[in-house]
Structure 1
Amino acid sequence: MYSPEQFAEPRIEVMQDLIRQYPLATLVTLAGDGLNANHIPLHLCGDGSAYGCLRGHVARANPLWRADESSAELLAIFQTPNAYISPSWYASKRETGRAVPTWNYAAVHAYGRLQAVDDPVWIRDQIVAMTAAQEAAFAEPWAVADAPADFTERLLTQIVGIEIRITRLLGKWKVSQNQPAANRSSVIAGLRETGHDDMADLVAERSESAARNPPET
């Protein structure tokens, strides 16, 4: 991933927070028939390593889980909501006219190798953990145990667990931090007016960080 220094995010905990908040991954694998991509929610778990591991499950009919027969590295891409940035939002545009459109986003690339886990107990534990994490914000969270046991037991036979031990993480936050403070403020306002509150929050967070930690002169 091309990532100029001003957009690079090296902090492991920040990248892990993005994975937890936006767990739907684009999982890119390379097999004998070429590149393939699947969109799968993955649950970040601690395993004693620096990066942790990703756990999920796929339909038994999905050939992805057989990728563990190969030693090829795979890539899981996690991304926040993204947003078009209009040059008309920039405060400096009214002064100089020198502005062009761009696109804001934040993304994490997680690398590792896939291992299939065809164990109903492991798969159930994985589903319970992922469900609990996603349901935690609800007033009345749903739990796997709420469904009839015979129903869930039958479904467990139709899926296979996957685990990816992360070997490296790359993060990129392209959220207007290359713009002067006045432009960042106007971008935040423009994003909120167009309903992109998630991106507005990211720009505001980086803008506040820049204000607290100005570059040395």
Structure 2
Amino acid sequence: MYIPKHYREDDWEQAEYLIKTYPLGTLITTDSTGGIIANHIPFYLTKTAEGNHKLIAHVAKSNHQIPSLTANSNVLIVFQSVNSYITPDYYPGKQETHKYVPTWNFASVHLHGSSKIVDDVDFVRNQLDHLTEQEESVQKKDGRKQWKVSDAPENYVKILQKAITGLEISIDSFECKYKFDQAMRKADVDGTIEGLAQDGKVEISQLAKETNARADAKKAEKKAQEAS
């Protein structure tokens, strides 16, 4: 992934945030002929007993990507935040020079890892429970009861499970990009944050605000270190 230095996030916490907040990942592999296969799958992030991060999911047994996932050390998974077109009208500086053009704001993390298929009933059920709990806990904000897999008839769940298999991906490395105008002057950054909010794009406005706050904090820390 192309990442200019002012957009690079090296802290795992920011990558983890994207995975947990936007868990529908794009899973990319190549088949035996070199053809590219991509599928969109919701993942659950967890850790091994040794403390290493891994992704778990389930896929349909009829999915043609399974052969390239059975024992593959070259798998790519992409997670992306909400995103938005950024109009030059957001920038106060546009009125001064008009030397502004549109851009696009987003955050994304690319995970490189090794995959294996886990055709095990208990593994699949645990994955379903974990993913459901993660997502239901977010939806529960309206005060309703949190749905659980066990709420469905057990025989019904077992029948559905026969059609899916488990997937486990060990994460070997990651690249993370948060592109929210960090290279621009503060007035223009603030203009973007305010403009997005006024246009009803509250979620990405908050992401832009938090990303630039982190960038400012890192700059201040670096200056303090250089001065000491």
Question: Are the equivalent residues in 2 in contact too, given 1:51–1:168 (CA < 8 A)?
Answer: no
Aligned to 1:39: 40
Out of 159, 164, 169, the residue aligned to residue 169 of structure 2 is 164
Stretches of structure 2 that go unaligned for 5 or more consecutive residues are none
The amino acid of 1:169's aligned partner reads F
Helix, strand or coil at the partner of 2:65: helix
**How many residues are paired up?**
217
C-alpha separation in 2, matches of 1:95 and 1:49: 56
Q: Does the aligned pair in 2 maintain the 1:47–1:53 contact within 8 Å?
A: yes
* Letter in structure 2 aligned against 1:95: E
Could you say which structure has the higher helix fraction? 2
Asked if 1 retains the 8 angstrom alpha-carbon contact of 2:71 and 2:116, the reply is: no
2:27 aligned residue: 27
Which shows bigger deviation, 177-186 or 67-76? 67-76
Aligned-residue offset at 1:117: 0.6
Shift of the alpha carbon at 1:209?
2.9
In structure 2, the CA distance between the partners of 1:127 and 1:69, relative to structure 1 (3 Å rule), is closer
The match for 2:83 is 82
1:73 is paired with a residue of what secondary structure?
Answer: strand
Matching of residues 161-200 of structure 1 within 5 Å: 161-200=166-205
**Kindly, what percent of the aligned residue pairs are identical?**
34
Cα root mean square deviation, aligned? 1.6
Q: Distance in 2 between matches of 1:105 and 1:97?
A: 24
Secondary structure at the counterpart of residue 71 of structure 1:
strand
CA contact (8 A) 1:65 1:160 kept: no
Counterpart CA distance in 2 for 1:120 and 1:209 is 43
CA drift at 1:211 = 4.1
Asked if the contact 1:65/1:115 (under 8 Å) is kept, the reply is no
Is this contact kept in 1: 2:29–2:75, CA < 8 A?
A: yes
Q: Whole-Å Cα distance in 2 between the matches of residues 105 and 130 of structure 1?
A: 24
Stretches of structure 1 lacking an aligned partner (at least 5 in a row): none
TM-score (norm 2): 0.90
